[in-house]
Amino acid sequence: MTAAAEFIAKLQSERRSGNVSNETEQHLKHEFRKLGREASDLILSAAISSEIDRLEREAATLRRLRETVFGLV
């Protein structure tokens, strides 16, 4: 099993456990397909890092909006 296949299998397991959204799983699977079977582990890791950065920005935005609208920290 390749590292990419192992990552996707573990990602699917985490989605079934409720720890990862279906959208995140689908997005990463799409990114991996787009990069192709010959993509290096470094390239695939960079795609994962980009998704993490996107999710962190999204979480920060949601926290800021919650604080602004509801006054909660």
Whether pTM exceeds 0.85: yes
Domain that holds residue 7: 3-70
Instruction: Give the model's pLDDT for residue 26.
Output: 97
Instruction: Give the model's pLDDT for residue 1.
Output: 84
- Profile the chain (73 residues) by mean pLDDT over runs of 10 residues: 94 98 96 94 97 97 96 80
Distance, C-alpha 54 to centroid of its chain: 8
